[in-house]
Chain A
Amino acid sequence: MRELTEQKATVLPATFWRHLRRILPPDGLLTKPTQVAVYECDGLPVYRARPLAVALPRTRAEVGLVLALCSRYGVPVVARGAGTGLSGGALPHAHGIVLSLARLNRILAIDPDNRTARLEPGVRNSAVSEAAAPYGLFYAPDPSSQIACTIGGNVAENAGGVHCLKYGLTTHNVLAVRFFTADGVLHEVGGVTGEAPFDLLALLVGSEGLLGVVVEVTVRLVPKPPATVALLAAFRSLAEAAASVSAVIGEGLVPAGLELMDALALSAAQDYTGIPYPPDSQAVVLAEVDGDLATIELDVAHVRRLLLGHGAFAIEEARSEEDRRRLWLGRKSAFPAVGRLAPDYYCMDGTIPRSALVAVLAEIGERSRRYGLPVANVFHAGDGNLHPLILYDAKIPGELERVEELGAEILRLCLAYGGTISGEHGVGVEKLDGMCAQFTAAELATFHALKSAFDPHNLLNPGKAVPTPARCVEPGGMHVHEGRMPFSSLERF
């Protein structure tokens, strides 16, 4: 475990605290160590820090006032949704406050005629689809954490999910956002079609709480498809399964979801759910096809042909809601299932071109053997988004460091194949070194310049998502690309 920052006694004037208390509801400010302890980390608990306080406003106006006050006193602010982030994005700042948006959790409007929903940031992801269901509509991006994570957190991370292959990521499904800049000024970007003179919406989505605090989100709702068919194809090798995914994509088919699980993930899921996979399965591919009744038959037949052609030795098909749920159960519970295989696991996240799946999975397997650390793969294969889960025991001295080394190797592999160090979990504090490998100093400087345009005093989630130039030249981190000069221009710092 890393205590990122020591608790230096930061002394803020009593007037700051008096004002803060006045802004917030009576139960809206947590300062006691026992109260703030639960906010010390997010879904990546290897990083922990204790904030000075946690503010729990109930209204947009309160959020604005808290920000204006913190800006006046130069207090860092870390926005937080449900804290399910997997890269330490919501890790508190030891000299700042956590601004929880969890209580701003009202669905402000569902407009079935125009197929939109207007939401406060603390609304849980799955609550949106639940509220839209009576109108035959749903909100498409469905991270596996959807029962807990918030829309504000989804916007901040550009969250994806199983159905993003067909329906797009958060950035494709958000039409407008209201947000406060660090100075407490409210802005509105986007509109009915999401278009605007500058696509600030694109910039905000995935900005990890560095550019603004999102207080209202308008999302697109989509009609539920008339029919859905799920296929589970079992393979005797991981390579065959991966090749079948590349083939389905290569044919130009766009299933609603296309996921892959390897042998280790399968045995974990099987033990966890009690639902057996076909005997001798070394990997399975889950394909979900949806659409109108006529198209779906054509697509299912086509996908089946491709899976069989690449060595699937058994295919199960599910059409009813209940049967589909059963087929998906192992995939949906794969993380907690894998969690039972070892005391700890580290969830990696990177993306590669989909044609490189076979090669990259083989290389990951080779490295796993070399490090003697088991790796389970269960991931969004259709869009090339890998989630290798590295199993380890944190109590063994030095083990976490080796896991991080292996993780860094896997990310370098993603880059070498033309991919990226993060597909959906964000950079947070976890991947700052990886950013040095993916971007040049000038590109990182541009990110800092954009950050300054929104937050000139660097108060919103400082230190996350974009590394400082100094960090990128430190030895030990992932190194800057060969031939890319680290100091070509730092003029805008």
Chain B
Amino acid sequence: MTHDDTATLASAVRAAYERQTPLEVVGGGTRRHLGRAPDGQPLSLASHSGIVEYEPSGFVVTVRAGTTLHDLDAALSREGQTLMADIPRFSAASTIGGAVAAGFTGPGRPYTGALRDSVLGARVISGTGQVLAFGGKVLKNVAGFDVSRLMVGAFGTLGVILDVSVRVSRCPEDVQVVAFEMSWPEARECLKRWEGDLPLTGAFYHRGVLSVRLAGREARVAAAVRELGGEKGRPEAFTELRDLAFDFFQAPGSLWRLLVPPDSPWDPEETLIDWAGAQRFWVTLALAQEVREKAAQYGGQAVRVWGPDRSEGPWAAPPAATMALLTRVKTALDPRAILNRGRLYRDW
């Protein structure tokens, strides 16, 4: 299904701007439970879909925001390609626009980059209803401020994403997972030693077991598996982790991500360590304050993913002067705070 809904969407935003009524931007709705609960009338991007431009030899695809990841994956895999960034596919309804707005990257991040790293350009509707294009389709581009990257992870509070140009890469010939029982400090040492030496594309540590994913050329992956030994694991473990679909994530409480220096200890031990150490998932009933303090103890920060109390936003407010700067940036793009009002922070 392919349809360009730009004009309708832009006039809907323009009308909302004039009436000062907030909009909740919705793609597939599969990420709707993330972040704070926004105010506003739903504005669906679902019918704004389809691939705008895809030249496999250039390894870049330009796609409308309402395109499902399912359809996009299918188009790319026909060419033996896949999105460069390892992003969650929560369900068949998940859209690329929603994925970019939420900004999450799965376990591949330390090895194949963050989603923000593979976004080359975007067309957006500003909070005044203007259609604007930033960035482009080429790898190196320093003309103008990097507004398209700014959209990644902003939860749609800075613009309605219409289309994005993202990098793609060749599908690996083979994917294998091997697992080892070892302590976290041992696991961390191994990961540092292996990085660059082995075709790693993921590493997580849970309940005393280190699982690593090897992907790439068949011969190379086979050699790496022989070299490493360990228990053979399930490749799906990594896609389940990517989609936050492990049983681990279903425990009662709020799901948090602690972003910490990778060498930090395994603390608390109920966390699942991803990104070779830099991200710790924690499902807990602890108060937000305690979780944020735990991350700060190691020089990091905590990001709330989901949970029962939606008054708590993903990010803690930065110091007042920086918060004021963020607010001015928000105002520059969405002067009447109509886009996903309240999703990131109260009132805007």
Chain A residues engaging chain B, CB cutoff 8 angstroms: 111, 113-116, 157-158, 160, 164-165, 168-169, 171-172, 181, 185-189, 191-200, 202-203, 205-207, 211, 222-226, 246, 249-252, 254, 291-292, 294-295, 298, 351-355, 380, 383-385, 418-427, 431, 434-435, 438-440, 442-443, 446-447, 449-450, 452-454, 466, 488-489, 491-492
Contact A157 B150 (CB under 8 A): no
Contact B158 A198 (CB under 8 A): yes
Partner of B144, one of A193, A384, A447: A447
Q: Give every chain A residue within 8 A of B303 (Cβ-Cβ).
A: 195
The contact string, 1 if C-beta is below 8 Å from chain A, for chain B 138-177, is 1111111111011011100010000000000110000000
Segment of B41-49, B192-200, B201-209, B236-244 engaged in the interface with chain A: B192-200
Q: Give every chain B residue within 8 A of A420 (Cβ-Cβ).
A: 136, 138, 140-143
Q: Give every chain A residue within 8 A of B27 (Cβ-Cβ).
A: none
> A191 vs B142: C-alpha distance in the bound complex, in angstroms?
23
Segment of B67-75, B265-273, B327-335 engaged in the interface with chain A: B327-335
Q: Give every chain A residue within 8 A of B216 (Cβ-Cβ).
A: 295
Contact A418 B138 (CB under 8 A): yes
Smallest CB gap from B116: residue in A: A199
In the complex where A168-B113, A351-B139, A352-B138 touch, is A114 in contact with B261 (Cβ < 8 A)?
Answer: yes
Shortest beta-carbon distance from A52 to chain B in Å: 28
A–B Cβ pairs within 8 angstroms, 29 of them:
A168-B117, A171-B149, A185-B321, A187-B321, A187-B325, A192-B261, A193-B109, A195-B103, A199-B149, A203-B150, A203-B329, A223-B195, A225-B196, A249-B59, A252-B170, A295-B216, A351-B140, A355-B58, A419-B138, A420-B143, A423-B138, A424-B140, A431-B143, A439-B133, A439-B144, A440-B132, A443-B134, A454-B328, A488-B130
Partner of B146, one of A116, A192, A196, A203: A203
Q: Give every chain A residue within 8 A of B344 (Cβ-Cβ).
A: 197
Q: Give every chain B residue within 8 A of A251 (Cβ-Cβ).
A: 170
Q: Give every chain B residue within 8 A of A294 (Cβ-Cβ).
A: 219-220, 223
> A346 vs B302: C-alpha distance in the bound complex, in angstroms?
49
Q: Give every chain B residue within 8 A of A197 (Cβ-Cβ).
A: 153-154, 314-315, 318, 326, 344-345
Shortest beta-carbon distance from B232 to chain A in Å: 20
Contact A466 B130 (CB under 8 A): no
Smallest CB gap from A247: residue in B: B57
- Kindly state whether residue B260 has any CB partner on chain A within 8 Å: yes
- Kindly state whether residue B137 has any CB partner on chain A within 8 Å: yes
In the complex where A199-B150, A298-B217, A298-B219 touch, is A453 in contact with B170 (Cβ < 8 A)?
Answer: no
Q: Give every chain A residue within 8 A of B134 (Cβ-Cβ).
A: 443
Of residues 213 through 263 on chain B, the ones whose CB sits less than 8 Å from some CB of chain A are: 216-217, 219-220, 223, 259-263
Q: Give every chain A residue within 8 A of B275 (Cβ-Cβ).
A: 193
- Kindly state whether residue B29 has any CB partner on chain A within 8 Å: no
- Of all A-B residue pairs in the complex, the 8 with the closest CB atoms, nearest first, are A252-B170, A202-B149, A250-B57, A453-B328, A449-B332, A423-B140, A197-B315, A420-B141
Of residues 78 through 125 on chain B, the ones whose CB sits less than 8 Å from some CB of chain A are: 81, 103, 109, 113-114, 116-117
Contact B329 A207 (CB under 8 A): no
Contact B196 A226 (CB under 8 A): yes
- Kindly state whether residue B338 has any CB partner on chain A within 8 Å: no
> A200 vs B323: C-alpha distance in the bound complex, in angstroms?
12
Smallest CB gap from A454: residue in B: B325
Contact B128 A489 (CB under 8 A): yes
> A488 vs B131: C-alpha distance in the bound complex, in angstroms?
11
Partner of A449, one of B142, B300, B333: B333
Contact B114 A423 (CB under 8 A): no
Question: 15 additional contacts, CB 8 Å, given A353-B137, A438-B144, A450-B147?
Answer: A113-B192, A192-B299, A194-B114, A197-B154, A197-B344, A198-B326, A199-B150, A199-B154, A226-B196, A252-B170, A351-B140, A353-B138, A439-B144, A446-B332, A466-B144
Smallest CB gap from A290: residue in B: B196
